[in-house]
Chain A
Amino acid sequence: MLHPAVRRIVIVMAFILVFLAGAWLSASGFINEFLSYREDISYLAVQHMYLTAVSGGLAILFAIPLGVLLSRPQMEKRRNLPCRC
């Protein structure tokens, strides 16, 4: 662990760096341009989450029973054979 005084200095430096980064981003117009896509971002993020949720949910519902099935002793013989499936 760092000495408490050193740690405090590091934390203050980090705050200053974050502040400077924010000031620079704001001065270069990045934040304003970024925020001009606000509506696109919120609409597309919902669509993104929908796609993730549906495909991921289906995959979970399908994959867990499949894994259980594959681990049963009866399946053990033909599990990893490339052919004769």
Chain B
Amino acid sequence: MQVLNIGTTIPTLAVLALSMSLLGIGTTPALFALFVATLLPITRNTYAGLKGISPALMEAAAGLGMSPTQRLLRIELPGAMYVIFAGIRTALTINVGTVTLAFLIAAGGLGELIFTGIALYKPVMMLAGAIPTAILAILVDALIAIMAFWMVPRGVNPARR
């Protein structure tokens, strides 16, 4: 967990610079840096969700004779699914915004219009990058919310009670 905290605490720009010095320029280092920056929210929410399962439920499952693997797959994961989805939602929405920085190590993305627009004093060009990025982030957020609504089992889904 501490290692992941380091990955998120270092500014994404610095992670990009570090991964560029390791992997060179282009798509691969950008993907790696984004991957590192996205890990923490998902891991932390998975952990918190699994820890949040009520001990009484776990004891009942053990009393029914379930093995630890069965308990994980049939009690803990479905119970934690809602929290896990919340983590994925946070992580991916931030990720969409961070992808704009990938332009700085020549990986493309809508950041190309934003940074070029800033450099050339062309506000419309900058907005042509910024507005689609915002729309994309909202779409991703909505998409994951819909997925969470349908994929989390009805009994543990606060939205469908």
From B34, B44, B113, A37 is in contact (CB under 8 Å) with B113
Q: Is the CB of A68 within 8 A of B72?
A: yes
| Interfacial chain B residues near A81, Cβ < 8 Å | 2
With A and B bound together, what is the CA distance between A41 and B128 in angstroms?
7
Other than A48-B96, A67-B84, A68-B72, give 19 A-B pairs with Cβ distance below 8 A.
A37-B125, A40-B112, A41-B113, A44-B113, A45-B132, A45-B136, A51-B27, A51-B31, A52-B99, A58-B31, A60-B42, A60-B88, A67-B45, A67-B47, A68-B46, A70-B1, A70-B43, A71-B46, A85-B3
Is B51's beta carbon under 8 Å from chain A? yes
Whether B92 is near chain A, meaning CB under 8 Å from some CB there, is: yes
The answer to whether B128 and A48 have CB atoms under 8 Å apart is no
Q: Contact between A34 and B127 (Cβ–Cβ < 8 Å)?
A: yes
Contact with A along B37-66 (1 / 0, CB 8 A): 011101111110111000000000000000
B124 close to A48 (CB less than 8 A): no
The chain B residue sitting closest to A43, CB to CB, is: B108
Asked if residues A55 and B43 are in contact (CB atoms below 8 Å), the reply is no
Q: Interface on chain A toward B: helix, strand, loop, or mixed SS?
A: helix
Chain B: interface residue total (CB-CB under 8 A) = 48
The DSSP consensus for interface residues of chain B is helix
Q: Are B43 and A34 in contact (CB under 8 A)?
A: no
Interface string of A31-63 (1 = CB under 8 A from B): 001100100110011011101101110111011
Chain B hits for A52, CB < 8 A: 34, 92, 95-96, 99, 136, 140
Provide the B105-124 mask, 1 if CB < 8 A to any CB of A, else 0. Answer: 00111101100000000001
5 A-B contacts, Cβ less than 8 Å apart?
A44-B113, A51-B34, A60-B91, A63-B39, A64-B43
Q: Taking CB as reference atom, which chain A residue is nearest B51?
A: A71
B35 adjacent to A62 (CB under 8 Å) = yes
Q: Are B31 and A63 in contact (CB under 8 A)?
A: no
